Structure 1
Amino acid sequence: MHIQKLEVLVEVAKTGSFSTAGQNLHISQSGVSQDIKKIEEELGVKIFERSRSGVVQTNEGSIIIHKANEVLLKYGELIDEARKILDIHSGNLRVSTIPAFMTHLLKPLMEFKNLYANLTVEMSENITELTVEYIQQNKAEIGLICIYEDLLKNIENLHLEQILEGTMKVYVSSDSPFALKRTITPEELLQQDIVLYNGDYIKWFTNHFQNTFGKMNILFSSNQTEELSRTVSSGMAITFAPDFAIKNNTYLLEGKIIEVDILNYEPINVSLGLIYTKNRQPTKIEKHFIKFLTSELQYYIN
């Protein structure tokens, strides 16, 4: 069980509310609910009773929550000891990321800052190609990018660590006929109005698709994921994105938009990766951040 699940458990117990716990931990209410459900299923114990006024601990749940508090206390002691051993007290760290993952990074960054209060982290949002340039030009130490075929030849001089493997999916309104079928063909895609996230991987995928099947009816592109999700949920258009990029999207979790598979088309595989330079050895803080970020992103996205 991941330590963050215990933090969610304790916060729900403290506040008596999924929504308040979510606000305090910067997690959606549905995300909190899912975490609690997973904990109860994993332990085989009913921890909370739900009611209109909030949540109440069961007798068995009170025992579990008490133990969770003890574990978190010990975890804090463990982190203090690790900090002493590594002798990491302060420093600067520059991270460049594709904009779609800024929301995914907020929680891990807050956790990392809790470990090293004097650490300064500078975040910049850039498309993948610009993030590669930032690392190559020493404007950032670590980059988070989408990995695709055409990009690989441009990063041969960088270390690349693949974090997640994903698949390109189509996202439609819950009222769409494709929501029932859960599949769509390239020919059917060409008949739809489409909105796109304005990222270089999406542009590469779109160009590849159009060169194969013909011109799409693209209404607009935007970096505003809320605007794109709202447009799709209203039924005005469809969109596509890597499944890991949208997995915790509120509209998806609430069933307002539905994930659909693309039939009879390759390539649809995409990966998320970390890059950093080969020209020098990463510092202790950079090595720790890379390991920490990899673990946290895999947890939050999965």
Structure 2
Amino acid sequence: MQLEQLACIVEVAKTGSVTGAAQNLHLSVSAVSQSLSNLESELGVTLFNRSRTGTIPTAEGKSIIQKAFEVLAKINEIEDEAKSYTSDLSGQLRLAAIPVPLSLFVDTIISFKRDYPRVEMEITEKGTTEIVNDIRQNKIDLGLIIWNEELHRHMSLSFERLLEGKLIAGVSRYSPFARQSSMSSEQLRSQPLVLYNDDYLKWFIQDFESHYGPLHVLFYTNNKDAIIKAVEDGAAITVGLNFSFSDQSASSKGITTIELDIEGNKPVYLGWIHSEEQHLPHASSVFVQKLKLQLDHLS
């Protein structure tokens, strides 16, 4: 049994065809086909059912392919670990994050780049749906999103919590609400809202309206200054996750945060997702460890 054979069966399972696997592995179709046949003969097990519609793993094949994937992942981990000891860390860090304040992880980015200058960093802000699609298409390795069980329970991705949060309201410090410790569902319904253009917040609004009735949303935007101005001027209030208000610029411009006394306002989590079918590059793993250490101080 050879590692190339394991790589072939994993890739055929992922692509559903010998041709697709050959393209991804930069091998000839005949080489991949021969590799599969040799491995099946060696193991005495049929790994795939071959037909005009594709190459589908058998019941026995699924179990063996999963173990092959785990073996290849461990080998990659060993290689990456060795590289980190014998030379400077290099490669790519391909990361996308939802539009939470950059202050949450800018220190990690700066520290990481200082420690590993040879790593090429590609960091973008996107919505949750875009991030999930980019991971599935292998355009990025790592995504930082807000996880909600109801919203994301059908995702076939690995998720790890980094920071717990909850929804709160932001009001002008001159607003009568600023003297309250919390805001009820009826009070929230009575106010115009300006909100971040975020998948989780949109889900929250839909869920809220299904239970309590319609809200008055003036607009969604990714322009934080527009939200701050509208709230500061008393034209609207906003709703967001508590750690999204950690940027001191909001409080210094006259925004007070208060609790939302709403049934079902459960904790949600900022965390990172990655594909279970792709090996996570060592640079991404190191970045996540640094990010965990920083966010522990916010917990």
Look up the equivalent residue of 1:147 and give its one-letter code: W
**2:112 maps to what in 1?**
112
Look up the equivalent residue of 1:260 and give its one-letter code: I
Asked whether the equivalents of residues 132 and 143 of structure 1 are also in contact (C-alpha less than 8 Å), the reply is yes
Look up the equivalent residue of 1:94 and give its one-letter code: R
RMSD of aligned Cα (Å): 2.0
**1:165 maps to what in 2?**
164
Q: Distance in 2 between matches of 1:297 and 1:128?
A: 20
1:200-237 superposed Cα distances (whole Å, 9 cap, x missing partner)? 00000011111111111111111011221121112111
Q: How does 1:1-302 map to 2 (within 5 A)?
A: 85=85, 87-155=87-155, 157-252=156-251, 254=252, 256-299=254-297, 301=298
Q: Distance in 2 between matches of 1:84 and 1:195?
A: 46
Asked whether the equivalents of residues 167 and 242 of structure 2 are also in contact (C-alpha less than 8 Å), the reply is yes
Look up the equivalent residue of 1:207 and give its one-letter code: Q
Describe the shift of the 1:98–1:190 C-alpha distance in structure 2 as closer, same or farther (beyond 3 A).
same
Describe the shift of the 1:218–1:130 C-alpha distance in structure 2 as closer, same or farther (beyond 3 A).
same
Q: Percent identity between the aligned chains? A: 30
Partner SS, residue 240 of structure 1: strand
> In the TM superposition, what is the alpha-carbon distance from 1:255 to its structure 2 partner?
6.8
1:51-107 superposed Cα distances (whole Å, 9 cap, x missing partner)? xxxxxxxxxxxxxxxxxxxxxxxxxxxxxxx99626333211110110224343322
Describe the shift of the 1:211–1:249 C-alpha distance in structure 2 as closer, same or farther (beyond 3 A).
farther
Partner SS, residue 140 of structure 1: coil
Look up the equivalent residue of 2:290 and give its one-letter code: F
Partner SS, residue 138 of structure 2: coil
* Structure having the higher Rg: 2
Q: Distance in 2 between matches of 1:231 and 1:283?
A: 42
Describe the shift of the 1:204–1:86 C-alpha distance in structure 2 as closer, same or farther (beyond 3 A).
farther
Look up the equivalent residue of 1:282 and give its one-letter code: L
Partner SS, residue 196 of structure 1: strand
Q: Distance in 1 between matches of 2:296 and 2:200?
A: 20
1:146-182 superposed Cα distances (whole Å, 9 cap, x missing partner)? 0112333232x32211001111001101011111112
Gaps of 5+ in 1: 1-81
Partner SS, residue 111 of structure 1: helix
Partner SS, residue 227 of structure 1: helix
Describe the shift of the 1:154–1:134 C-alpha distance in structure 2 as closer, same or farther (beyond 3 A).
farther
Q: TM-score, normalised by structure 2?
A: 0.68
**1:51 maps to what in 2?**
none
Q: Distance in 1 between matches of 2:97 and 2:159?
A: 14
Q: Distance in 2 between matches of 1:126 and 1:137?
A: 15
**1:64 maps to what in 2?**
none
Look up the equivalent residue of 2:146 and give its one-letter code: C
Describe the shift of the 1:145–1:101 C-alpha distance in structure 2 as closer, same or farther (beyond 3 A).
farther
